Chain A
Amino acid sequence: MTPTVRTRERGRALSALLYAALVAVGFFGVSAAIRPLVPWPSEYGLRDKFEHFEEHCDEYDLLFLGSSRLWRSIIPPRFDEEMALRGVELRSFNFGVGGMRVWEMDYVLHRVLELQPKKLKWIVIEGGDWDPDFPSVQNTFASRSVFWHNLAETRKAIGASFTADEGLGERLRLALIHAQLFLWKTANYGQGRIIVRDVRGIRAGDFGREREEGYFVQDQGFQTQDTLVHPNFRRNLETYKHDVSGIDAANAAEVDLDHVYAGAIERQYEAAAELGIELICIIPPGIEGAPVRLRLHEEGVIPTLFDFNQPKLYPDLFRVQARFSPDHLNLNGARELTHVLAKTFSRHLRGVERD
């Protein structure tokens, strides 16, 4: 090949790269312009709750952030009353959302902090094990999973994928899934119909209008599963009792913290502290242990932890009559948890371990 030909080919390759860059500019520019039109996912009131909080963020002092285990277990008006009786005037909001996992929680937390709420002093967050895998194959590529995959969350999820206690192949698979979801988010992949429905004012569900104990769900965020025990749960009580009896042993299990992605938790505490907000981790009563959060607390990564997942210490929360399903409290249980939570929180504010 002559030098002239080589120079010409190099020039062609360079111009091809330049045009490819321009294609990328056009693509990312238009995608970025479309992205604000993509609404929050509406499942289980996630969107309703965020929009409500966005509008009223300066009215709340305390936020409960977690899954359905918080959503159905903490009654904000009752909590506020109990705190007032203990001399602390505050207003709380339950941002528990069905199916919310630790990554989405992290995303919501940072979006809440971006609002810089003036009165907000405490965020009680459920947290989790920072497992980068998806528990349900069907949900892996759901719009809701795509939604939280912004650059920051994707970086954390990919970081967690490579930290996970898995073989290289599995780590790569998880990292690629998160990368793909990030690309979908960036490209607004498949969101056209949702955008148009939103522009036309069509919203899925009617979450905002449900009432509970005289409050709009929107106002307080709580929704209970009444006082009943679900028939399926009633039929499997032996399994439930067996699971509950195993919680202590599960909590005592060895955990290799090298495989837990602690960077995301540290970032949560830093971001909250910048706004003078205290982040408190909560473990609601369930049927499984939460050894990762307990070890992280022991290591000081989680400074404050309210652990209600202790059958011996809180037997009332584990009574069958307090549960709707193995993992969810009913109204009886929610009243009890709200009560002990207020007690615990009050003690925490006073800086004492036990009354």
Chain B
Amino acid sequence: MIFTEGRFFVFFLVAFAVHWALRSNVQRKVWLLVTSYAFYAAWDWRFLGLILFSTLVDYTVGVMLGRAAEPRARKAWLLVSLVANLGLLGFFKYFNFFIDSGARVLDWMGLGAHDWTLNILLPVGISFYTFQTLSYSIDVYRRRLEPVRSLLDLAVFVGFFPQLVAGPIVRAAHFLPLLTEKRRWADVAVRPALSLFLFGFIKKACLADNAAQIADQVFGDPGAYSNLGTWLGLFMYNIQLYCDFSGYSDMAIATAALLGYHLPDNFDFPWFSRNINDFWRRWHISLSSWAMDYIYIPLGGSRGSEARTIFNFYVTMGLIGLWHGAAWTFVLFGLLHATYVAIYRIYRRVVAEGSSPAAFFALVGCPLTVVAVQLSFLPFRSESVGEMWTLTKVVLFLERGGELSPDPLWFGVYVGAGLAHWVTYKRYLHGFFGGLPTWAWSLVYGGAWALTLPWVATGYTPFIYFRF
């Protein structure tokens, strides 16, 4: 079940109505847990066991960390959580990747290895909820968070359906306190939530899915398209990826808000970033901040030597890349971004603030960042390193192929969407729509849906981030 499907609307209507009709906080939490598990079971009920296992392990670890005073015992309990969660993630997501990579290395060394990869299904959302549960155990270990007493609360935190399968990655410290108090309908900002859901829907169903049709043509037949055509495909993939993921996040945040829960922002207009650091403060914020807090800083952050700091960048960004998928192309994506970050760090050391070069780079910073990020999506989208290399040669004008001829109408649509994005960024119409009386706003909102649905790309396209 995905947020743009008709059955989700029916599901949510029931979940929403019953949630607010229930009187006590406990009843509501039980209901949220039931609906969340039902939502997940709509994908594959067999993997519900993994969520339950993860929840029980971290609940136990939390309780035991609360009791243990000895540093060694605390470390041991943290290790239990790390092994259990990363073990699950490693088995279901990376087992075949590591076995396959190992076999290739042995092959390369002349030690023929048998291919014994397993046919393992990737449980939807495992990367998201694993990171959430890890954040809980680590924060309790660091004594930044009190262990939760209620198993129900932790289960709702892990399984909360709006963000269960594709984030945002919510921290326990943010979400668990919300469960202690009964949510009040009066506190729900209905109009912003409904607007956010509609924006998310437009991004996903209208923009991302339509852009996917052109991107898939180019990436489906690498090298067969002209340089300009490949750039166009890459551009469309950027639109697809951003609109798909940020659209999903918007809908997740809006859905949670309508149930009375606040989820953190996941995107903050990343295409207006002035540099690569700025980009990572705006793109998939919940993942980048998680990596910052639980990988980069524990590695030493920027406290050590310059070489050590850059090494930390590479480890952190490489793992961020690997988090997206079990393939070397994702690792390359991460390493490329680490290189960008390292270059930017060196630039900041070399170029003095207020100098002419600094003024120039401030001017071109945004387009430069956009192009650099676009190029980084070549490995991200490519099925293999070979395919990535073929596309890279075309993008860099080293090779040419056939001609891609997309419907020119879509350029108009995307220019329009870009303008709308800019208007939203500048909040130009915020006052106008915000100032409408509710009856007029309701009519406009209904009309906006009627104008949106004709642009839905027919043909089912699953959310990209579900793969991760």
Whether both chains belong to one complex is answered with yes
Q: Which residue of B lies closest to A191 (CB)?
A: B454
B454 touching A195, Cβ below 8 Å: yes
Whether A34 is near chain B, meaning CB under 8 Å from some CB there, is: yes
Whether A275 is near chain B, meaning CB under 8 Å from some CB there, is: no
A19 touching B438, Cβ below 8 Å: yes
* Chain B residues closer than 8 Å to A115, beta-carbon distance: none
Which of A12, A23, A25 gathers the greatest number of chain B CB atoms within 10 Å?
A23
Stretch at the interface among A65-73, A180-188, A217-225, A246-254: A180-188
B439 touching A187, Cβ below 8 Å: no
* Chain A residues closer than 8 Å to B398, beta-carbon distance: none
In the bound complex, how far is the Cα of B444 from the Cα of A25, in angstroms? 10
A190 touching B457, Cβ below 8 Å: yes
B450 CB contact (under 8 Å) in A19, A20, A30: A30
* Chain B residues closer than 8 Å to A187, beta-carbon distance: 449-450, 453-454
Q: How far is the CB of A289 from chain B (nearest CB, A)?
A: 36
A19-B442, A22-B443, A183-B6 known; A27-B450 Cβ under 8 A = yes
* Chain A residues closer than 8 Å to B438, beta-carbon distance: 19
A27 touching B446, Cβ below 8 Å: yes
Whether A192 is near chain B, meaning CB under 8 Å from some CB there, is: yes
A12-B185, A180-B6, A183-B6 known; A23-B454 Cβ under 8 A = no
Which of B6, B446, B456, B457 gathers the greatest number of chain A CB atoms within 10 Å?
B446
A26-B450, A27-B449, A30-B450 known; A189-B443 Cβ under 8 A = no
* Chain B residues closer than 8 Å to A30, beta-carbon distance: 446-447, 450-451
Whether A193 is near chain B, meaning CB under 8 Å from some CB there, is: yes
Q: Which residues of A, 117-159, contact B by the 8 Å Cβ criterion?
A: 141, 143
Q: How far is the CB of A116 from chain B (nearest CB, A)?
A: 31
Count of interface residues, chain B, beta-carbon cutoff 8 Å: 22
Whether A24 is near chain B, meaning CB under 8 Å from some CB there, is: yes
B450 touching A34, Cβ below 8 Å: yes
In the bound complex, how far is the Cα of B438 from the Cα of A195, in angstroms? 32
Q: Which residues of B, 414-447, contact A by the 8 Å Cβ criterion?
A: 438-439, 442-447
In the bound complex, how far is the Cα of B454 from the Cα of A197, in angstroms? 13
Whether B405 is near chain A, meaning CB under 8 Å from some CB there, is: no
Q: Which residue of B lies closest to A27 (CB)?
A: B446
Q: How large is the interface on A (under 10, 10 to 19, 20 to 34, 35 or more residues)?
A: 20 to 34
B443 touching A34, Cβ below 8 Å: no
In the bound complex, how far is the Cα of B443 from the Cα of A30, in angstroms? 10
Q: How far is the CB of B185 from chain A (nearest CB, A)?
A: 7
A28 touching B450, Cβ below 8 Å: yes
Whether B119 is near chain A, meaning CB under 8 Å from some CB there, is: no
* Chain A residues closer than 8 Å to B450, beta-carbon distance: 26-31, 34, 187-188
B453 touching A22, Cβ below 8 Å: no
Identify whether the interface residues of B are mostly helix, strand, loop, or mixed. helix
B443 touching A23, Cβ below 8 Å: yes
In the bound complex, how far is the Cα of B448 from the Cα of A192, in angstroms? 14
Whether B355 is near chain A, meaning CB under 8 Å from some CB there, is: no
A12-B185, A27-B446 known; A192-B454 Cβ under 8 A = yes
Whether A196 is near chain B, meaning CB under 8 Å from some CB there, is: yes
Whether B121 is near chain A, meaning CB under 8 Å from some CB there, is: no
* Chain A residues closer than 8 Å to B448, beta-carbon distance: 26
* Chain A residues closer than 8 Å to B457, beta-carbon distance: 190
In the bound complex, how far is the Cα of B452 from the Cα of A188, in angstroms? 9
Q: How far is the CB of A149 from chain B (nearest CB, A)?
A: 14
Q: Which residue of A lies closest to B409 (CB)?
A: A196
Which of B443, B444, B453 gathers the greatest number of chain A CB atoms within 10 Å?
B453
In the bound complex, how far is the Cα of B5 from the Cα of A141, in angstroms? 14
In the bound complex, how far is the Cα of B439 from the Cα of A192, in angstroms? 27
Q: Which residues of A, 74-108, contact B by the 8 Å Cβ criterion?
A: none
Whether B455 is near chain A, meaning CB under 8 Å from some CB there, is: yes
A19-B438, A26-B444, A180-B6 known; A189-B409 Cβ under 8 A = no
In the bound complex, how far is the Cα of B407 from the Cα of A191, in angstroms? 15
Q: How far is the CB of A172 from chain B (nearest CB, A)?
A: 13
In the bound complex, how far is the Cα of B448 from the Cα of A23, in angstroms? 9
Q: Which residue of A lies closest to B209 (CB)?
A: A190
Q: Which residues of B, 96-152, contact A by the 8 Å Cβ criterion?
A: none
A192 touching B455, Cβ below 8 Å: yes
Q: How far is the CB of A113 from chain B (nearest CB, A)?
A: 29
* Chain A residues closer than 8 Å to B409, beta-carbon distance: 193, 196-197, 200
B446 touching A188, Cβ below 8 Å: no
Interface string of A1-35 (1 = CB under 8 A from B): 00000000000100000011011111111110010
In the bound complex, how far is the Cα of B243 from the Cα of A285, in angstroms? 53
In the bound complex, how far is the Cα of B457 from the Cα of A311, in angstroms? 47
In the bound complex, how far is the Cα of B101 from the Cα of A28, in angstroms? 56
* Chain A residues closer than 8 Å to B449, beta-carbon distance: 23, 26-27, 187
B446 touching A24, Cβ below 8 Å: yes
18 A-B residue pairings within 8 Å (CB atoms): A23-B442, A26-B442, A26-B446, A27-B450, A28-B450, A29-B447, A30-B447, A34-B454, A187-B453, A187-B454, A188-B450, A188-B453, A189-B454, A190-B454, A192-B455, A193-B455, A195-B454, A197-B409
Interface residues, chain A, with chain B CB atoms under 8 Å away: 12, 19-20, 22-31, 34, 141, 143, 180, 183, 187-193, 195-197, 200
Which 7 A/B pairs are nearest by Cβ-Cβ distance?
Answer: A26-B446, A30-B450, A192-B454, A190-B458, A22-B442, A27-B446, A26-B443
